[in-house]
Amino acid sequence: MKKYKKFFAITICSLLLFTIYFNRDPYREITKGNNIIISPADGTVEYIKYYKNGYAEVFKDGNCYVLNVSKYFPKGCYVVGIFMSPLDVHVNRAPISGKVVYIKHIDGSFYPAFLKGVEKVNERNIVIIRNGSDYIGVVQISGFIARRCILNIKEGEYVYAGEEIGRIKLGSQTALIVPTDYSIKVKVGEKVYAGQTIIAIKNTNN
């Protein structure tokens, strides 16, 4: 009986420690600069795709969910998908300072974020932030264990680059939608950090 109590106590303590570890929100020295877009999430760059007509696939798959963001990206856009493992910090941060002009929540089921086509079924939040004439998009996608995409912001609010805007529980994915007048500075397989890694830089040469 004592062995079972000991095992139960160890299990409870392990779960408690993991919960504390998972929900950690460490201090970040936010990268500052003009004409840059910083990472909205910790994780690994899983895909980078270019779309010329403003209809963007959130995940790399021929039958994946399509986002109609042509209103904000009429000249096309890049989509950078960031896979967040259960060991990554799951706080999402604003990739740029600006006004939140659009938020859309899409209900869904919950499947592993690394599977092709998960955008068709997984819960998602779509956020568009405007800075001057630029629009930047952030898409939260729930994962197999993750059950909720949480946002702490509302339409009409102003956010600052690196400010916490939400989080996703456990394994999940965050995608960044970038205008075509920016150059992508990361590669597939690269580790990125929310509020610190520069994802893209605006092309200022005419």
> Tokens 């967040």 belong to which residue?
84
Q: Which of 14, 85, 172, 183 is catalytic?
A: 172
- Phi first, then psi, for residue 119 (nearest 5°) are -65, -20
Q: How far apart are CA 57 and CA 181, in angstroms?
A: 19
User: Is residue 109 annotated as part of the catalytic site, yes or no?
Assistant: no
Active site residues: 172
